[in-house]
Structure 1
Amino acid sequence: MNLKHTCSRLKNGMHSQPRILIIQPSHYRSRSNLSPYKTGKRALVGLTLPYLAALTPHGWEVQLVDEQMSSIDFEAEADVVAITTWTINSLRAYEIADRFRARGVPVIMGGPHTYFYPEESAEHCDGVGVGEGETIFPVMLGDAIEGRLRKFYRAPRPGELAHLPFPRYDLLDLSKYGLIRTFSVQTSRGCPFRCEFCSERFYLGNDYRYRPVQDVVNEIKSSLARNIFFADSNFAGKPDHTMELMEAFIPLRIRWSTLWPAYLCNNARFMDLAKRSGLLHVNLGIESVDQQTLRELGKKNSMVSQYQSVLRNLREREISYSLNFIFGWDTEPADIFSSTLRFLREEKVPAAYFNILTPHKGTPLYERMLAEDRIIHIDDIGRWPGIHCHIKPKNLTAEELEENVRMLYRKFYNYASMFTRLPLPLNQARIASWMINLSQRKVSRAQVDMESFDDY
């Protein structure tokens, strides 16, 4: 393909500004239905597309396409196409890239997927960004416009997060996000923990880095948002800084949601401040109700005996919450599924997500399972929506593990369970919990996993 077509078109006066089309692909509905998943709307205003627009140098004409909500015009006039990819949408991303390249349009790709699969991604595009985009994305665009794209652009060691540009929400059609739209804001990158199964610490860096408080406050003010999802791997990786941040939220009068470790909920001062600052919903990765399994996970700060006080502290402050579980650990007892369901019902947990231990490429878990010859369908890991087991469990078959997780979704999100767990009368926290439950009920009936936190 002639990558100099863009430069020559500009020199010939076809248009005065270079044009970039930035695409966030949807994912295929299933292995048997290769049509992109569409909703036409979202509750959460995503961060990736408007942030990439903010990183685009001045003088470019920028168009953003979220394929889940709108169709891609494959005949669009574009000098460069940029595609952001997770593994779940990588196959669709490759198809999109191939179609634009067939027209002679240079395609660049980035995102978490290209960090772990750079060579594979390079087969479908002209330039692959590996790592954080602040330093490499503008360079890739400059090289593309000059017709000198390299195959790989690797970001230097992750740097400080001060003075990041604010997302270009002005380029989005915000009417597609409903009346009570929630904006994504990132206050930090990385995580201080070293979970064997987690891949985020590799492409975001092992160090926990956080933005200056005033930068975060200014971004929230600029968006005019009143509902915020803080899209951090761990919002409270440094609790003292988090408390400073929450103090700054109070005059903003926002309602916000996020993720953090469960043990922090036993810190009364921390939780009181979170409530005063507008915390609506928090997601907690407790992973298991079996203490031996928590030891296998290396969760030193997690004690099953503390779960009741953690959840009581949330209920007393009328904070909505959801719990994440992972199944498939070697140390799990035979009754792990029934004991988990019993715990959820007894504690009247408002929302929960049930996951299968997955050996994502690049993680210590992947390397361990590979060495033990326990990975199933290695090329499919993370590629398809739904409940899929990619390991050989020690205590049951892969099919049994999948069916037990489906059972948890069905039983936890049936109407009888929902009316038992979710109290009346409604307040803001309970409305949030009901919204998650109704969404997850649809998910459980379709036997498709949630791939995002759109319903927080």
Structure 2
Amino acid sequence: MSISHPKLLIIQPSHYRSKTDRTIFKTRRRQMVPLALPYLAALTPREWSVTLLDEQLEDIDFDAPVDVVALTAWTLHSPRAYDIATEFRRRGVTVIMGGPHVFFYADEAAEYCDAVGVGEAEPIWTTMLEDAAAGRLKKIYRATPLKELDNLPPPRYDLLDLKKFGPFRTFAVQSSRGCPFVCDFCSERFYLGGRYRWRPVNQMVDEIRRIKNKGSHFFFGESNFGGKKSRAMELMEGLVPLKIRWSTLWSSNLCLDTDFLDLAQKSGVMHVNIGIESIDAETLADMKKGWNKTTRYGEMFDNMRRRDISYSLNFIFGYDDEDPDVYDNTLRFLEEHKVPAAYFNILTPTKGTALFDKMLKAGRIIDPEDIDRWPGQVCHIWPRDCTPGQMEQRIQRMYKSFYGMRSIFHRLPFPKSRSDMASWILNMSERRMAFSSTGNNDFDIY
């Protein structure tokens, strides 16, 4: 039976606190305004009545008068998403699902939903909704990756209650998809469409200009903001007149490019996250990440500091040939260079990567289907020189040491600028997680 005036509820599920604690993770307020919900609403045909719900901030009314429920989920959210789907389907509501999780677990997700969408939403979203309204849904819809990111619709922020995101909210935006690099542990390049693509600068600038009256801080949520340097510089030129503050992720080589950094500073960059992964060159070679030059890390940090750009570093531990002293050596390195913030991660072979296939074949993965389903720094592999529990303890010890007050006061300058303040706020947030009762380092910002 077809539906003439269909009602759509798009939900971003929360997650359970742990594998044993099925309490739903909730917060009263978020700083980051998500992109997925309002963007899916923008892709939705106008004849649909659309409601957006972020479960971290709001409870779900399973008896709401809706015709279709759409769930978008990372693997972390999947156990909760499946429970939500089950409750709605029990009431006769059609449920569809997409997101990064579905890209790798389409058949599994299809068991809980009426249909799932694999890949980028643009080529399949409207078709899925039309088929749902007409009662002719297929189980799996697979998208052909977009060749270009041209004329994407502006997100429907009008459907969100922005008061729930605080007075100093940050808007997540996206100017590119994919990554030009191929790291052996990273699966993002698969579900983001593979080939590195970017949006036309004028369209990106226009979108930010429209959002600016709602807030002046933006987070470019993409794998590598500078994946194509010339295009990134053109975009930053376009940002200069907007007088915004922004944050993003980019690769370490750009921290050695003074022209790039000068323009980034001029355009309002406040914080950058950088995946340097290790201070050991041999480990970087194992990761297929040889462009990270350990001998020039100090120069990178000095370049950022001179331009008042706050930054954070990502590290990965657990490679077979690591020096046993790498944990203490890394902490000393970070304090010596007064690095503002750092994230310490356990090597995790995510589905779809060469690392996953290699470790699965070697019998080194504890439970392949459990990876990324629960929050925190969980060791999913059998390390070569310790037990999984010992690896988790090493990482927890690093967090407590790095975010201890002695380390914070040693590393951070007195907050004289917005970038300095950003570093202090980030350190206080990470300190609360490091010393929480669970100590699970749950970085759920999206």
- Equivalent residues, number: 442
Which residue, 338, 341, 354 being the options, matches 2:328? 338
Report whether the alignment pairs 1:228 with 2:211. Answer: no
- Render the CA deviation track for 1:121-171: whole Å, top value 9, x for unaligned: 000000110000001111100000111110010001332100000100000
Q: Give, in whole Å, the separation in 2 of the partners of 1:158 and 1:357.
A: 31
Which residue, 14, 20, 23 being the options, matches 2:8? 20
Aligned partner letter, 1:210: W
Aligned partner letter, 1:357: L
Alignment correspondent of 2:23: 35
Q: How does 1:320-399 map to 2 (within 5 A)?
A: 320-399=310-389
Between the two proteins, what is the percent identity of the paired residues? Answer: 54
Aligned partner letter, 1:449: N
Q: Displacement, 1:450?
A: 3.4
Report whether the alignment pairs 1:84 with 2:98. Answer: no
Aligned partner letter, 2:143: A
Aligned partner letter, 1:141: L
CA contact (8 A) 1:129 1:136 kept: yes
CA contact (8 A) 2:68 2:132 kept: yes
Which residue, 202, 205, 229 being the options, matches 1:214? 202
Q: Give, in whole Å, the separation in 2 of the partners of 1:158 and 1:330.
A: 38
Q: Displacement, 1:389?
A: 0.6
CA contact (8 A) 1:197 1:360 kept: yes
Q: Give, in whole Å, the separation in 1 of the partners of 2:80 and 2:54.
A: 13
- Render the CA deviation track for 1:339-376: whole Å, top value 9, x for unaligned: 00001111111111110010111111110101111001
Q: Give, in whole Å, the separation in 2 of the partners of 1:52 and 1:199.
A: 23
DSSP-derived class of the 1:59 partner: coil
Which residue, 151, 155, 171 being the options, matches 1:167? 155
Q: Displacement, 1:395?
A: 2.4
Q: Displacement, 1:309?
A: 0.3
Alignment correspondent of 2:252: 262
Aligned partner letter, 2:381: I
- Render the CA deviation track for 1:386-408: whole Å, top value 9, x for unaligned: 12111111222222211100000
DSSP-derived class of the 1:26 partner: coil
Alignment correspondent of 1:434: 424
Alignment correspondent of 2:32: 44
CA contact (8 A) 2:120 2:193 kept: no
Q: How does 1:418-429 map to 2 (within 5 A)?
A: 418-429=408-419
* Structure 2 runs not aligned, ≥5 long: none
TM-score (norm. length: structure 2): 0.97
Which residue, 108, 131, 144 being the options, matches 1:143? 131
Q: Displacement, 1:451?
A: 3.2
DSSP-derived class of the 2:64 partner: coil
CA contact (8 A) 2:415 2:421 kept: no
Q: Give, in whole Å, the separation in 1 of the partners of 2:400 and 2:366.
A: 25
- Render the CA deviation track for 1:224-267: whole Å, top value 9, x for unaligned: 24100000111110011100110000000010000001121111
Aligned partner letter, 1:25: P
Alignment correspondent of 2:443: 451
* Structure 1 runs not aligned, ≥5 long: 12-16
DSSP-derived class of the 2:23 partner: strand
Q: Which runs of 4+ in 1 moved over 2 A?
A: 449-454
CA contact (8 A) 1:129 1:154 kept: yes
Aligned partner letter, 1:87: T
Alignment correspondent of 2:271: 281
Q: Displacement, 1:295?
A: 1.1
- Render the CA deviation track for 1:35-56: whole Å, top value 9, x for unaligned: 2100121101010000000011
Q: Give, in whole Å, the separation in 1 of the partners of 2:428 and 2:33.
A: 20
DSSP-derived class of the 2:182 partner: coil
DSSP-derived class of the 1:228 partner: strand
Q: Give, in whole Å, the separation in 2 of the partners of 1:47 and 1:438.
A: 25
- Render the CA deviation track for 1:411-434: whole Å, top value 9, x for unaligned: 111111111111114310011011
Q: Give, in whole Å, the separation in 1 of the partners of 2:443 and 2:199.
A: 26
CA contact (8 A) 1:158 1:204 kept: no
DSSP-derived class of the 2:319 partner: coil
Aligned partner letter, 2:218: I
Q: Give, in whole Å, the separation in 2 of the partners of 1:104 and 1:453.
A: 32
Aligned partner letter, 2:435: R
Alignment correspondent of 2:116: 128
Q: Give, in whole Å, the separation in 2 of the partners of 1:282 and 1:157.
A: 28
Alignment correspondent of 1:14: none
TM-score (norm. length: structure 1): 0.95
Which residue, 288, 291, 294 being the options, matches 1:298? 288
DSSP-derived class of the 2:386 partner: coil
- Render the CA deviation track for 1:54-73: whole Å, top value 9, x for unaligned: 01101111100000011111
Q: Give, in whole Å, the separation in 2 of the partners of 1:102 and 1:286.
A: 47
Aligned partner letter, 2:324: A
Q: Does the C-alpha gap of structure 1 residues 257 and 453 become closer, same or farther in structure 2, counting only changes over 3 Å? A: farther
Q: How does 1:51-62 map to 2 (within 5 A)?
A: 51-62=39-50
Q: How does 1:229-244 map to 2 (within 5 A)?
A: 229-244=219-234
Alignment correspondent of 1:250: 240
Aligned partner letter, 1:58: R
Aligned partner letter, 1:450: D
Q: Give, in whole Å, the separation in 2 of the partners of 1:27 and 1:437.
A: 24
